Amino acid sequence: MPPLSLISPRLLLSALRLYRRAQQVHATPIEDVYQALLMDRRVATGSEPENIRRTVLFMARILGGLGLDTSCLVRSLVAARLLSDQQGVEMHLAFHEPAGKTTLGHAWVTIHGINVSDNVHQRQTTRQMKPTKTLNMYRAR
């Protein structure tokens, strides 16, 4: 994780607000939650995808410890909103049912097909998954 001094305070505050709002995903359709996230005009955009990925994961560690949902779905909604000013940003949802095991699901964000939300290990896993749903998250200014 990056030192706190390397993360923009504005980006941290934006991520915090978005995490709080993204908690609605358990009772509201994903598209509706994302549209609500887009309504917040105070969100810091324009950061490099790697800085956003690190910020989202940093906040997940803190907020997860406080009992908030920081699942891949919530993290992806937050990351997608922070990246929404970049063309080619998409959020993917995939489900996989290994033989005799519980169904696994995952959400991640890509820009022009490149995974920008997961760590290296997760990226290897998502390469093997075929998205069941892909959402265009780009918002023209």
Express each pLDDT in 80-100 by its tens digit.
Answer: 999 999 999 999 999 877 777
Digit-coded pLDDT (tens) for 49-63: 999 999 999 999 999
Q: According to the model, what pLDDT value does residue 5 have?
A: 58
pTM over 0.85: yes
Tell me how far apart the alpha carbons of residues 120 and 33 are, in angstroms, rounded to a whole number. Answer: 27
**Which of the residues in the chain have pLDDT under 70?**
1-5, 140-141
Residues 6+ apart with CB under 8 A from 104: 95, 96, 97, 98
